[in-house]
Amino acid sequence: MTVASLFFYLFSVVLVGAAFMVISARNPVHAVLFLILAFFNAAGLFLLLGAEFLAMILVIVYVGAVAVLFLFVVMMLDVDFTELKQGFLQYLPIGGLIGILLFIELVMVLGAWTIAPEIVRVVDAPVIAGIENTEAIGRLMYTKYVYLFQAAGMVLLVAMIGAIVLTLHHKPNVKRQNISDQVARDPKTAVELKDIKPGQGV
C-alpha cells in the first residue's frame, strides 16, 4: 500500500465521519465545525488527485468564507434545533423507505458498471505537460466552457438582484452613511462649545 492510498483512506474515513456528525450533532455550532473538518478532508482528497488549485479554492472559499458565514448565522440566530427536529421521527418510515430504494438502485447501477473501451478517452483526462492545473482550468474555462462560465455569471447576477429586491428596505428614519457629508463636517457644525462655570455643571 502506497502512502497515497493510505492518505486516501485516512481523508475519506474522516470525511465520511465528519459528514455524518454534521447531520447528527445536537449543537448546531458543532455541526458547522464538523462541516469545516469535512471541507478540509475533501481538500486533502483533491490534493491527492493533483488538483491543488481546487484544493486551495475549497479551503479559501468554503472554509474561509462560506463555513464562517454559516457559523456566524448559527451563532446570531440562536435556532433551537432540537425543537426543529420534533416530528422528525414521524417522517422516518417514508424517508427511510425512499433511502432504501435509492440504495438498492445504486447497488444495481454499480453492479451493472462496465467500462466501455471507447469511454476510456474521457476518463483519461489529458494532462498537458508543462501546464499547471490552475492554468489548465483557466484555459478550459475561458475557451471551451466560456458560454457556461458567462451563464454562471448571469446566475450570480440574478442571485444578487434577488437578494437586494427581497431584503433591502428603505426606512426613512434610519441614519445612513453619507461619506461626502461626513468628510465635509468641520468643528463649526460638529462641535458645540459651552462655557461652563466652575463648580456648576451644564
Residue ranges binding another protein (CB under 8 A): 105, 108-109, 112-114, 116, 118-119, 121-123, 139, 143-148, 151-152, 154-155, 157-159, 161-162, 164-166
Shortest distance (Å) from residue 126 CB to another protein: 14
Report how far Cα 140 is from the mean position of its chain's Cα atoms: 23
174 DSSP assignment: S
Shortest distance (Å) from residue 198 CB to another protein: 55
Report how far Cα 185 is from the mean position of its chain's Cα atoms: 42
Distance CA(119)–CA(123), nearest Å, equals 7
φ/ψ bin of 120: left (φ > 0), alpha (ψ from -120 to 50), beta (otherwise): alpha
Q: Which is nearer to another protein, 109 or 196 (CB)?
A: 109
Q: Which is nearer to another protein, 91 or 113 (CB)?
A: 113
Q: Which is nearer to another protein, 78 or 118 (CB)?
A: 118
Shortest distance (Å) from residue 157 CB to another protein: 7
State the alpha helices, DSSP H only, in the chain.
3-24, 28-48, 52-57, 68-77, 81-84, 92-111, 120-123, 133-142, 146-167, 179-184, 187-190
Q: Which is nearer to another protein, 89 or 154 (CB)?
A: 154
Distance CA(34)–CA(40), nearest Å, equals 10
Shortest distance (Å) from residue 117 CB to another protein: 10
Shortest distance (Å) from residue 185 CB to another protein: 26
- Nearest Cα to Cα of residue 128 among 137, 141, 118: 137
Shortest distance (Å) from residue 192 CB to another protein: 36
Which residue in this structure is represented by grid cell 478540509? 40
3-state secondary structure of 126: coil
Q: Which is nearer to another protein, 118 or 181 (CB)?
A: 118
Q: Which is nearer to another protein, 53 or 145 (CB)?
A: 145
